[in-house]
A and B are shown apart, each in its own frame.
Chain A
Amino acid sequence: MITKTPKVGRRSFIVGSAAVGAGLALGLKIPFGTSVVRAQDGSPEINAWIVIRPDDTVVIRVARSEMGQGTITGLAQMAAEELECDWSKVTTEYPTPGQSVARKRPWGNFSTGGSRGIRESNEYVRKGGATARVMLVQAAADTWKVPASECSAANSVITHKPTGRTVSYGKVAEAAAKVTPPADVPLKDPKDWKIIGKSVKRLDTIDKVTGAQVYGADLKLPGMLNATIKESPVFGGKVQSFEADKVKSMPGVRHVLKVGETAVAVVADTWWQAKTALDALPIKWDEGPNAKVSSASIAETLKAGLDADQTFVRTQVGDVKGAIAGAAKKVEAVYAYPFLNHAPMEPMNATAKYTADKCEVWVPTQNGEAAFAATLAASGLPADKCEVYKINLGGGFGRRGAFHDYVTQAVLIAKQVPGTPVKLLWTREEDMVQGRYHPVMQAKLTGGLDANGNLVGLHLRLSGQSILAAVFPQNLQDGRDNATFQGLDPSGDFTLGYTVPNLLIDHAMRNTHVPPGFWRGVNINQNAIFLECFMDELAKAAGQDALEFRRKLMTKHPKHLAVLNAVADRAGWGKPAPQGVHRGLAHMMAFGSYVAACAEVSVNGDKVKVRRIVCATDCGNAVNPAQIERQIAGSFVYGLSAVFMEECTVKDGRIEQTNFHSFDSMRIAQMPKVESIIMPSGGFWGGVGEPTICVAAPAVLNAYANATGKRIRTFPLKNHGIQMV
């Protein structure tokens, strides 16, 4: 049934009965056994990661989701590097979550967020390739009755060195699948990499330019009906009543259904018919306890948190109060960052088919396993009676990772029309008002400078919403949400790049009824603005150059400093800019990578032109530089759209923005020239999809302040009459 869907994800597996998981040294269970596990076309699995067809096609299984960031290409490069296969013969496919569960999770984590696709799975994916290579070589050696040590593998061909005999992978795959996998296989030294680090072409471009690529919204199944839905516009509200009779006789309408306690859906022959009927359907909502909440009331709550006595402390060094009280100069500023919607181009959707003994879901998801869990919960069926097929995503940005509300809805609809597949596709309007929003946050920053302009004390107080408290409360630490402090941490993947002798960083958690979510970059978006704009404010108060002021505080953070220096050098910081052009800097460490930007802007009245942004990233290892460049430029579009023109405001308990007219997004005319400096220093794996997003906004804001003398501290800039041109 799924053979009509895209190349990735279209195969299921036939698992041999003896394919019982057995642990390898990598801490994962790669199944092996005497009976061969076969892909649906009959080709043998060498192991869970690698299938080789008789024609030498190499199928690399990728558990992470491709949503445009290039992860299937990057992870395939990982496996191919160690497999020593012919890159031109590589294709990829998704294993299904149901298969993962049935086989004891041989592919590990499916979650594709937090910029972890490559940085957290590179080792076991490379091991998967290396293990398969050893098995293929062993199989060839066995055939030739020679020691495997006399054989080598390159470009999908095994050579017996003493005799020069050769055989291709496809010819020995069947035998290799029966070889006992080695207990452990050493991985290549990075200096020997041939595919990792190369800008090989992505594997998934062609179907995206011909219209052939099938996204979730495009799925067609035999006998399928189409649905669209409205959930209570006030979060926490319920359906009170609806007048189904008013729309039941409209063209194509099959069912008008209550979905859970909170939503109403129309199921029709076509989606347009479903939408037309739902628009005409009178629905009364029980708006619940949150119907009076507004942006103003939320802002008041957060403002009170800026001076609250009780907070969650992340970092406390020295005596901040004393240092600031004794400082020659005190600088204080309050910043505020709004709720934001993800607004991927493809609205939320899922297709479900339910019978009493099987529930199947087709969904564009960043986390197949989480979609699977939602399917189990909504269907009430056990894992062996559920399956999820991952379909291509029209963008994710975090909306399709931790949240599968649309899967729950699709299954609840399908349960009411058993045996019939139903595709649920949200309207853009529903997508806008039923988001999982970037959390709202305010910050008060207080700094003390000594007589020489040195920063002697800094207090960064955050006040606002915790994502983890709402989404993963089990991950709170004694109530504290460490994710709130991304980019401000004392150590780890989000380390603050400054050493300040007296430092206090704390969070007054102020949660709202608006559901928060992980939005590309998550909390680095606002934390980078708070920190890096305030650093410029401090430098100005100290009468110092913004770069020199930072450098003095960064001597113990050489990797942070290296990326900052790189953008300053490339952009010509300290040298005269072209007439009317002003520069601004920012840096941060996030998701394991060190990133910095230098922006050049020109200002004409209320019109701001971002001309150029030089960006540097040290992501440890750069797997595919061309795709990293694209992620950098793309992240700037997402981040700058937000800071210039986007916010989700709350009125009467609901989100006010309903489409791109009120939640705008950058166009090509507004795109700055982005120059990327990819400077991997080796020895670690940092993220790519998210880190750079956070430096664009503060670099631009600092440039704007340098151009105008005006420091903007609340966002988006459109609220100040500022227009991006």
Chain B
Amino acid sequence: MQNLVPTSRGIHLPFDVGLVAPALTIIVVALVAPIAWVLYLSFFADQGHFSVQSYMTVLGSTLELKAFLTTLRLSASTLALCILLGVPYALAMTLVGRRVATALMFAVTLPFWTALLVRTFTWLIILQRHGLASSAFESLHPSAESISFVNNLAGTLIGMTHIMLPIFILPTYAAMRSVDPALIRAAISLGATRLVAIRGILLPLSMRGILSGATLVFVTSLGFYVTPALLGGGKVNVLSGRIERNITAYDDWGAASALGVLLFLLVGAVLIAARFVLVRSGRPGGPDNE
């Protein structure tokens, strides 16, 4: 037998590199290699000569810089809406009985696995001019002009929030459910109101789940392409959209790659920052023991 070493679970099974080989091969071929190639192209797009021209082009263009701002703004707004709607929703799932909680879980899981395009498509129909949303708006304000919710940032934001909300709720709910119920019982039997129990115990103890959900939503939003492209109607230029335009419309692989590298760095920075916060928040003992 090969290396019989203490393992994460204390089981003495031989570790077999062959078992991870297929998965790691796929990751190297389909993930590491493309990223490496994009990095290479961002510097060597000019017939294999090193140059930072692609980065100069990208950073010197108002269009690309605006795309950066739009991407950040859209992602931050999506995250804010997810927290605003998702935390109470997860809380409700924790508070209600089993049957209602299952129904609430189903309401999150079904959209989570419904095709991204189908969801974007239905929002396109709901939000379009003379669609459901604008008819409802007109019946409330008969004098107002017919308005459209698509082809702008508002429509994109609605669609993105709908798509991201399950991704936020699932980890948040998991964290809330894993809080030891005895703590809540103890607090309430000692005279705490339910609100205090929620604010003082449940929320702080599920902060890690909320943070990881928030990170996932923000990072995914940063790279979003489909929803802004369809609901933004060409008016919402996000980074992913600029990458696509640079490839298909301008055939400028260097600029597309430079944008890709910058997007990658942005995502990496957010992940590292989130990890830093998570590690700090997970410090044993907590602030009271300092």
Q: Do A and B bind each other?
A: no
A interface residues, Cβ below 8 angstroms from B? none
B interface residues, Cβ below 8 angstroms from A? none
